[in-house]
Amino acid sequence: MNMRDPELALNPPALLTERLLLRAPTEADLDSLYEVHADPGTNRFNPSGPMNSRAAAEALLRDWQAHWQTRGFGYWLIARREQAGPSGLAGEEQVLGFGGLMHKPIDGQQGLNLYFRFRPQAWGQGYASEMALAALELAFGRLQAPAVLGVVRPANMPSRKTLERIGMRLKGCWADVPGQAASLLYEMTASHWAELPRQSAVPTPFGA
């Protein structure tokens, strides 16, 4: 399957994991995207704070959709798979969060960034681990990527524990926020991924 095909880039198929439906976000998901990113709870470790306007959400959605159209993959909308309708779409109240892989400038070079942000109601149930493992399968399977990076604030212990539990290792620091402590860079390489036993999602208490 060639995900660079124009039709597939515009209408990429959804991916199903054990509990989750992962699909490209659409214009119909704008409200959910804004709610998740404007929630103070989901931004407790974000130096920029909560998203402050729908215009910012629209710009973010356009950026994500452009990545899908040019690369054939990107950040997913995340929902419970049994709550999805026949079309693969999830209702607003069923959206758990957003996450996946995108090419990003990281510490002076382009790299595959692993990202996730979930509604507080979805924390502590292993959803982030389940989504992240699917993203790593994508990175080292179809995409044949050499490595995946995760950028996390030092105080964000729930996200750090999630990355560590799926096998990512601390690589170094990145001074990406002027005047504040450097973010931590976690990495999964293709060679390390190949050595790891396949695992199930593990919940991270008090986090995503």
Residue 204: predicted pLDDT: 57
Task: Say which residues have a Cβ less than 8 Å from residue 83's Cβ, sequence separation at least 6.
Answer: 21, 90, 91, 94
- Tell me if 117 is assigned to some domain: yes
How would residue 203 be classed by pLDDT, with cut points 50, 70 and 90?
low
Query: Residue 13: its pLDDT value, please?
Result: 83
Residue 101 lies in a domain: yes
Residue 59 makes CB contacts below 8 A (sequence gap 6+) with none
Domain span at residue 149 reads 6-195
Q: Reduce the DSSP state of residue 104 to 3 states and report it.
A: strand
pLDDT of residue 201: 58
| Average pLDDT rounded to a whole number, residues 18-44 | 96
pTM: 0.87
Asked, for residue 139, whether it belongs to a domain, the answer is yes
The region of weakest confidence among 27-41, 145-159, 189-203 is 189-203
Within-domain flag for 205: no
CATH of the domain at 94: 3.40.630.30
Residue 124 lies in a domain: yes
pLDDT at residue 84, rounded to an integer: 58
According to the model, what pLDDT value does residue 205 have? 52
Q: How far apart are alpha carbons 205 and 157 in whole angstroms?
A: 10
User: Does a structural domain hold residue 37?
Assistant: yes
Question: What is residue 6's predicted lDDT score, i.e. its pLDDT?
Answer: 43
pLDDT digits (tens, 9 = 90+) for 49-98: 999 999 999 999 999 999 999 999 999 999 998 865 555 555 444 899 99
Q: What is the mean pLDDT of the chain?
A: 88
Helix 54-71 / helix 30-38 crossing angle, nearest 10 deg: 120
> What pLDDT sits at residue 12?
78
Domain assignment present for residue 119? The answer is yes
Q: Establish if 22 belongs to a structural domain.
A: yes
**115-125: average pLDDT:** 95
Number of domains in the chain: 1
- pLDDT-derived band of residue 3, with 50, 70 and 90 as boundaries? very low
